[in-house]
Amino acid sequence: MGKLSNGITPTFCSRNRQSVTVCCSDDSSILNTANNRKQQLSNQQTVSKDGRRLSEIKCEEYSKRVYETVGYIALVPDPETMSISAPKCDYNGVELIVGGEDAETGEFPHMAAIGWINLEGTYSFLCGGSLISSKFILTAAHCTRYSKMREPKPVIVRLGDQNLNTSVSDGASPIEVPIKNIIKHPLYKSPGKYHDIALLELLSDVDFDSSIRPACLWNRADFPGHTKAVATGWGVVDPRTQRTSDELQKVSLTLLENDFCNILLKTKRNRLWMEGFTADQLCAGELRGGKDTCQGDSGSPLQVVSRENKCVFHIVGITSFGHKCAQSGSPAVYTRVSSYLDWIESVVLNRIIPTFCQRFETTVVVCCSDNTLTFGSVNVPPPIQPLRLPSPQPVPKPTNNELRLSERKCAEYSNDVVENIDDTGGIKTSKCDYNKQHLIVGGEDAERGEFPHMAAIGWINLEGTYSFLCGGSLISPKFVMTAAHCSKYAKMRIPRPVIVRLGDQNINTEKFDGANPIDVKIKRILNHPLYKSPGKYNDIMLLELETEVKFEAAIRPACLWSQPDFEEYTTAVAIGWGITDPRTQRTSDELRKVSLSLFNNTFCKSVLTPKRNRNWPDGFRDTQVCAGELRGGKDTCQGDSGSPLQVVSKQNKCVFYVVAITSFGPGCALKGTPAIYTRVSSYLDWIESVVWPEG
């Protein structure tokens, strides 16, 4: 904690079941080394304090993950068991001296499959790539577009897979991560064959484990000690039939000298490769033919194994193109990684430190700064001890004479709904579509634009379209507040939500309702650090949007209720697109609203105590709210999760205060059984620290 208080941020948060390891530096002088570094092409190497490239330092950091402590018994009388560190991985070095065979499961943990949505609405994996950090994939620039797909640009990256056919059990446990940003090298010009390198920024950070781990980047122009390299991919395995492989393949290829490549490939020049072979490329293959990379292997790595650690791969080249496949005397051409390290580091390493590190199932939280990089911290001599951090202490409560940060933001946002209606008299009034009369009855359609903060949270379903399974509340230009249990839905193509729809009334896009909704991609998913799935406590989450939302009449944030009680309010309004008939499980495409009674904590505890279970062992807590209709018939239900429970400002009928978030209920609309909501005021310290970190 002393290091954190002195401004030294962690460089790497590793996870091993319930423990969190934070590596901190003893040298605060390394902070802010990259703050003013311009992201530009340069021939000058980007180096650290000790003269090493930043990519080398990150490689050392990643490489530490492949060691395990094992017991070692010396062959002497009365031996003692000693602990040593030994590399642990699934790499089988013997089999790499032959080519064209199946890779072992987990043998290439950095291998990535890059997917497009095809015309049938399923994924087609047409290129490979390499995981090189928790957020970036290295691939070929020509892999950034394929016009024969439904969407020309790739949309997904699969990591940790062995066989791309999901119906085949191969022992792998792959994950799929949406692509947030595609960054081609600035000198690449399609369909040319030079500077064929790109970086794919992932929507969320990847958690490393034994089967998903980054590769290192080769930083020399030559390959001392290496005459061969290994190519991997899911591409064509038979050039005659163009048959591809669902199983990851590996092949050992000879690395050839530049002069030799020039001689062999001089006759292959064409209008797309006018200069022929250049020093920014390398060639590799089998001069006798029969071993090569081929179509579908594009973007995949050409790699060598570290001499110091057989579990660590260094990427030397990126599969680019070839003149036919596996032909005698015709090696394939690869993009030379060492020629592009300055550009790679300027993009990847300037963004590698997360702003918020959290363990999904632990109470340890580490808040990292956006404007600091701590590459030098890996120089701390081993052993690096785990640092267990307590849950963050809440910020001091405001006094009666000052407003909370969220309250100040509320006042700021509320100004958007006040307009002059009489320029001569200067009279101001509120303008909005809120219909108060409708709110005193339940279970009916909302008016268009009545709840401008309402958000629909969408997943990509198995058909490749969006399914909106949860609701949420826009609370700032960049953040939506919802329930933490809305962060994952296993039955979707991608378990995590990818999109937020704002300003909509009817989520059936075929029905015209006068709304003009917008879809905004989700950049980051932040569960509350104390939330533990499938538990029912601390069920709150923030979704950071990829771009800021521009406020208008139909899209505007709600305010956050900051008091522990509800003063003169006895009812609140719940909204959502969830189930409207518990018997038929019929959901509503039209946004619905219902007025519910707010109950005090004592009453909630007495009514809900019999409903306790293993996921809700303490029953009702003060960090929750219960609301409903004791006679039954009015409630929230499945599909309303994450949606707001709100009250209307007494001063401005256009301003809603979200008092709670729809969490769960024992049945829907049952007599004497109110639903449970997450109490927003209990989490304002955390919300404010994430949404408005600078005040």
The answer to whether 296 and 234 are in contact (CB under 8 A) is yes
Taking alpha carbons only, the member of 543, 576, 570 closest to residue 451 is 576
The answer to whether 459 and 494 are in contact (CB under 8 A) is yes
| 539 in active site | yes
Q: Alpha-carbon torsion 610, 615, 617, 618, what sign?
A: negative
The answer to whether 129 and 157 are in contact (CB under 8 A) is yes
| Torsion angle defined by CA atoms of residues 145, 151, 157 and 163, in that order, rounded to the nearest 10 degrees | -100
Q: Which of 161, 292, 504, 539 is catalytic?
A: 539
Taking alpha carbons only, the member of 27, 37, 13, 693 closest to residue 350 is 37
Q: Which of 641, 643, 663, 681 is catalytic?
A: 641
Taking alpha carbons only, the member of 60, 11, 13 closest to residue 33 is 11
Report the alpha-carbon distance of residue 319 to residue 284 in Å, rounded: 10
The answer to whether 284 and 254 are in contact (CB under 8 A) is yes
Q: Which of 195, 485, 635, 640 is catalytic?
A: 485
Q: Which residue has the tokens 């009250």?
A: 647
Q: What is the DSSP string of 247-273?
A: B-EEEEEEE--HHHHHHHHGGG-BTTB
Report the alpha-carbon distance of residue 129 to residue 199 in Å, rounded: 9
For 593, the enclosing helix (H) or strand (E) is strand 592-598
**602: which residues sit within 8 A by CB, 6+ positions away?**
none
Q: Which residue has the tokens 């075929």?
A: 510
Report the alpha-carbon distance of residue 481 to residue 219 in Å, rounded: 44
Q: What are phi and psi of 128, to 5 degrees?
A: -110, 175
**271: which residues sit within 8 A by CB, 6+ positions away?**
none
Q: What is the DSSP string of 212-224?
A: B-PPEE---SS-T
| 170 in active site | no
**450: which residues sit within 8 A by CB, 6+ positions away?**
432, 433, 434, 435, 438, 593
Half-sphere exposure of 492 (CA within 13 A, CB side): 22
561-567 long-range contacts, CB within 8 A, separation 24+: 561/647, 561/657, 561/658, 561/659, 561/680, 561/681, 562/404, 562/406, 562/407, 562/681, 562/684, 563/681, 564/622, 564/679, 564/681, 564/682, 566/598, 566/647, 566/659
Report the alpha-carbon distance of residue 88 to residue 379 in Å, rounded: 22
| 485 in active site | yes
Residues acting as catalytic residues: 485, 539, 641
